[in-house]
Structure 1
Amino acid sequence: MRIAFIGLGVMGRPMAGHLIAAGHRLFLKTRRGVPEDLVAAGGTACATVAEATAAADLVITMLPDTPDVETVLFGADGVAAAVEGRTVVDMSSISPLATQDFARRIAAAGGDYLDAPVSGGEVGAKAATLTIMVGGSETAFAHVKPVLEAMGKNVTRVGAVGHGQIAKVANQIIVALTIEAVAEALVFASKAGADPALVRQAITGGLATSRILELHAPRMIEGKFDPGFRIALHQKDLELALSNARALGMALPNTASTQQLFNLCTALGGAAWDHSGLVRAIEAMAGHRIADRTAP
């Protein structure tokens, strides 16, 4: 398939590489310049988003936030300028309400639209093991599912347009609150005098086990927070959860408190830390760091 891929950052770059390896022809555009390895592998660098769109049958966007997606879709020389007869798949994590508006505007321009946010982070993007949550028509989903399966191992149509983003917001609530719970538990264990690595080993496999305990607890214990998935991006996702909850007239109390802990991490200079760095907020309040077992 001829695919325009817009956004080649930490996630988009390996995802585009998997599509090229699967035999698709890619037309590439990103703000910082198309990586040379993707061009060497067979990708085509394009000067504008509209140029990439016009050359393709399918358009994939993988961008940081809602305003970025809107600019790429509807800005000067954007996707909408050449989208007629094409399908747009937005794999960014953005507002569900904005997604539904974008889909209506793309439909008015003659295109089809799916939202397909992902979970799995940089590790999943590199390994092509992403979980992909899709919103849109069954017909459009069937058309693009083989493409999505080149980037992920769990590809699920959740429902109508916007429902993929709803699933992603729900996912991010669970991930954030689980990181917070693991951070509290490890700081408690360490300050109480136990070896946190052995505590982790003891509870892994029991009811408390999770992917967070498996993958992120070692980062917390070692104090190494190279991203990964940056705290600033998880803050964005939790803000989507909280703002949509307000619109729905409901409360998300633990999501709100976890967002405050991310805010504390940012105040400590950690906006670019991996989201497992949330443990630093718990450590700051405990006056104790796991990594050195001494007060900071």
Structure 2
Amino acid sequence: MSEVGFIGLGIMGGPMAANLVAAGHRVTGYNRSRGKVDRLVEQGGVAAGDVAEAVRGAEVIITMLPDSPDVEQIVLGEDGVLAHAPEGALLIDCSTIRPDVSRRVAEEGAARGIRVLDAPVSGGEPKAIDGTLSIMVGGAEEDFARAGAVLDAVGATVVHVGPAGAGQTVKAANQLVVAGNIGLLAEALVFLEAHGVDAEAGLRVLGGGLAGSAVLGAKEAKMRGREFAPGFRLELHHKDMGIVQSAARDAGLSIPLGSLVAQLVAASVARGEGGLDHSALYNRIAELNGKG
């Protein structure tokens, strides 16, 4: 079992840290809002008052932060993770950020004797709670092997996908597919309702055929009930689609369907719905059809 420093105890990070405690790791957690640290302590973790305290003596350090600038500040900053982590520690960044930032973190970590993996996750809050996340990992093969006991405590599908930054590239592809599926599910629901079909029955049979998907299974009830309490916020998916578009530009690629759904996500955020679940993309599709 490992000494783990965990930074970022939000919707995803909090359950992940709790699962590490349950697996027998000693987890010291830090979060900017103290209430989430107190929650970890109730679950058997240890409180840290700052980044330095969280990483002091840690064999493994996990960060779960909102965006690239947060990782740059918390990890690369003057008083950040790399400034305080013990030499030889393994840093696993589970944030969803730009691949180029992940590569820079790996380079700067190596210069300080810190091993680095980028390991973004997919599955949302339910799978974070259950410890069944899908985790795509970039970095050295030997570092991935070293991380096994920790990653297996929070994920069910844990795959090494390539060198530093590869995990973030695969996560960008994941967010592209998820956004597209949510958009098409919303269109299908509007379509069924416009024709007076029992939407619950219609989507149930679609879920049993080739149109079935994890997105349909997880999101159709929210859409039918117009219940959009956040599991994964639209504002975060908006950020992720920006990563997708930037990475596509860097590779000289055209992603026409991805660009369209990115604009719909952006419109939802602009309408003040960024704090809702990303299934609330339904509202834009409904609005376009005069159903809003």
- Taking only the aligned residue pairs, the percentage that are identical comes to 44
Letter in 2 for 1:235: H
Q: Cα deviation per residue 1:121-175 (whole Å; 9 max; x = unaligned)?
A: 0011001010010011111111111110000101111111111111100111110
Q: Which runs of 4+ in 1 moved over 6 A?
A: none
Residue aligned with 1:268, SS: helix
Q: Cα deviation per residue 1:160-216 (whole Å; 9 max; x = unaligned)?
A: 111111110011111000111111111011112222112112222111111111111
Residue aligned with 1:190, SS: helix
Determine if the alignment matches structure 1 residue 209 to structure 2 residue 212. yes
Corresponding position of 1:291: none
Calculate the TM-score normalised by the size of structure 1.
Answer: 0.95
Unaligned 5+ residue runs, structure 2?
none
Report if the CA contact (8 A) 1:48-1:77 is conserved: no
Determine if the alignment matches structure 1 residue 127 to structure 2 residue 119. no
Q: Cα deviation per residue 1:219-277 (whole Å; 9 max; x = unaligned)?
A: 11110000110000011111000011111111111111001111221233211110111
Determine if the alignment matches structure 1 residue 242 to structure 2 residue 245. yes
Question: Aligned equivalents of 1:204 and 1:71: distance in 2?
Answer: 43
Calculate the TM-score normalised by the size of structure 2.
Answer: 0.96
Question: Aligned equivalents of 1:30 and 1:13: distance in 2?
Answer: 9
**Range with greater deviation from structure 2 (201-210 or 272-281):** 201-210
Deviation at 1:26, TM superposition (A): 1.1
Note the 1:66-81 alignment, pairs <5 A. Answer: 66-81=68-83
CA RMSD of superposed structures (Å): 1.1
Determine if the alignment matches structure 1 residue 270 to structure 2 residue 284. no
Corresponding position of 1:94: 97
Question: Aligned equivalents of 1:213 and 1:140: distance in 2?
Answer: 35
> Which of 145, 152, 155 does residue 152 from structure 1 map onto?
155
Q: Tell me the number of residue pairs that the alignment of Structure 1 and Structure 2 aligns.
A: 289
Corresponding position of 2:178: 175
Report if the CA contact (8 A) 2:3-2:25 is conserved: yes
Determine if the alignment matches structure 1 residue 224 to structure 2 residue 211. no
Letter in 1 for 2:5: A
**Range with greater deviation from structure 2 (82-91 or 227-236):** 82-91
Question: Aligned equivalents of 1:101 and 1:35: distance in 2?
Answer: 29
Report if the CA contact (8 A) 1:89-1:114 is conserved: yes
Unaligned 5+ residue runs, structure 1?
289-295
